[in-house]
């Protein structure tokens, strides 16, 4: 069975840092890209970043709203991916989701349960 367990959400002060984690199981993790998506309270979905697989050199893409502040790492030996968030702003308050990307056709077909990040003093 394909599963994702997300963790790491917390209350953090503005300009603080936080790392979110996802651990995947039930499939060949190393084959897939992983995306991060967030949803501010009462708002729609916002794609924030992508980590490609080893075959594509573990390269990343980010939305402008987080570029330079957020990074993504992955450890294929542990089937895990981390979202490292620095210099957090109140506007970063949201539920954060990691998601597996379908190969070749795109689309996020396996989602974590979400973890809540609150940025507030």
Partner 1 sequence: DIQMTQSPSSVSASVGDRVTISCRASQGLDNWLAWYQQKPGKPPKLLIYSVSTLQSGVPSRFSGSGSGTDFTLTVSSLQPEDFATYYCQQTLTYPLTFGGGTKVEIK
Summarize as ranges the residues that interact with partner 1 (CB under 8 A).
35, 37, 44-47, 50, 61-64, 97, 99, 102, 105-109, 111-114
Residue 24: Cβ within 10 Å count = 22
> Closest approach of Cβ 114 to partner 1, in Å?
6
In terms of CB distance, is 85 or 99 closer to partner 1? 99
> Closest approach of Cβ 101 to partner 1, in Å?
9
Strand runs (DSSP E) across the chain, as ranges? 3-7, 11-12, 18-25, 34-39, 45-51, 60-62, 70-75, 80-85, 94-101, 108-111, 115-119
Q: How far apart are CA 2 and CA 98, in angstroms?
A: 14
In terms of CB distance, is 56 or 77 closer to partner 1? 56
> Closest approach of Cβ 74 to partner 1, in Å?
18
């Amino acid at each position: 069975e394909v599963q994702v367990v997300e963790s790491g959400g917390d209350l953090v002060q503005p300009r603080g840092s936080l790392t979110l984690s996802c651990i995947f199981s039930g499939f060949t993790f190393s084959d897939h890209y992983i995306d991060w998506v967030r949803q501010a309270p009462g708002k729609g979905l916002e794609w924030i970043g992508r980590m490609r697989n080893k075959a594509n050199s573990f390269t990343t893409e980010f939305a402008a709203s987080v570029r330079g502040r957020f990074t993504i790492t992955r450890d294929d030996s542990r089937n895990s991916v981390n979202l490292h968030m620095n210099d957090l702003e109140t506007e970063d308050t949201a539920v954060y989701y990691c998601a597996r990307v379908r190969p070749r056709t795109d689309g996020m077909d396996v989602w974590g349960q979400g973890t809540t990040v609150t940025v507030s003093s």
